[in-house]
């Protein structure tokens, strides 16, 4: 069965590859609209469903499709992808010496059935100095990351004090939960 990853994220590509699956990467651009009336954990799941719906007209029948969206929440505030480096700096100041929640929503379609789920991870940053934040922000790759950071980056290595939950969820794809769903559809990893 063909597998399609409906995401541009290099982290999701890396994680799905590490899971042992061969797949194609295809995307369709959509506006990622946030419905603030939804419970927080449902917001990334609904965006993942919108991404899946957008790509479905281009998908063959005997295919499994995976879409996902990751958001960072500090209290009730949503930290998506920063618009610019100034906003990224402000996000990292908020995360410094604080605990936040990373929620990834995932949608999987196969054989006419759609399964949506989410995973959440609590992440605590130690106190970051302005110098450390500015050092990290010399690369504009942060503009493609919810909360303006990558857990696998330098800032995660030196700044994250604790993680409660799935590490891969913080990277953008809760691999263990995804693997369980893929097994239910009869897929086995090729490792």
Tens-digit pLDDT profile for residues 92-142: 999 999 999 999 999 999 989 999 999 999 999 999 999 999 999 987 788
Structural domain range at position 167: 2-184
Q: How many folded domains does the chain comprise?
A: 1
Instruction: Please report whether residue 59 resides in a domain.
Output: yes
Instruction: Please report whether residue 11 resides in a domain.
Output: yes
Nearest-angstrom CA–CA distance, 122 and 165: 6
Instruction: Please report whether residue 189 resides in a domain.
Output: no
- Crossing angle of helices 175-184/10-18, nearest 10°? 60
Nearest-angstrom CA–CA distance, 89 and 67: 28
Ranges of beta strands (E only) in the chain are: 2-5, 24-25, 63-74, 77-79, 99-110, 113-125, 160-164
Among residues 35, 53, 62, 69, which one is catalytic? 69
Instruction: Please report whether residue 49 resides in a domain.
Output: yes
Ranges of beta strands (E only) in 43-177 are: 63-74, 77-79, 99-110, 113-125, 160-164
Instruction: Please report whether residue 142 resides in a domain.
Output: yes
Active site residue 69: yes
CATH of the domain at 146: 3.90.950.10
Residues 148-165 have pLDDT tens digits of: 999 999 999 999 999 999
């Amino acid at each position: 069965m063909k597998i399609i990853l409906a995401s541009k994220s290099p982290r999701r590509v890396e994680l799905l590859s590490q899971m042992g699956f061969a797949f194609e990467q295809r995307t369709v651009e959509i506006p990622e609209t946030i419905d603030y009336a939804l419970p927080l954990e449902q917001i990334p799941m609904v965006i993942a469903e919108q991404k899946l719906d957008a790509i479905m007209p281009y998908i063959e029948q005997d295919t499994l499709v995976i879409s996902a969206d990751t958001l960072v929440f500090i209290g009730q505030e949503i930290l998506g992808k920063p618009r610019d480096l100034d906003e990224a700096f402000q996000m990292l100041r908020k995360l410094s010496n604080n605990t936040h929640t990373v929620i990834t929503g995932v949608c999987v379609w196969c054989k006419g059935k759609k399964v949506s789920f989410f995973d959440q991870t609590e992440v605590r940053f130690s106190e970051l100095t302005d110098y450390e934040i500015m050092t990290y922000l010399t690369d504009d790759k942060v503009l493609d990351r919810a909360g303006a950071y990558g857990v696998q980056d330098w800032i995660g290595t030196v700044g994250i004090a604790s993680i409660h939950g799935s590490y891969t969820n913080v990277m953008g794809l809760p691999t263990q939960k995804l693997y369980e769903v893929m097994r239910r559809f009869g897929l086995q990893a090729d490792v």
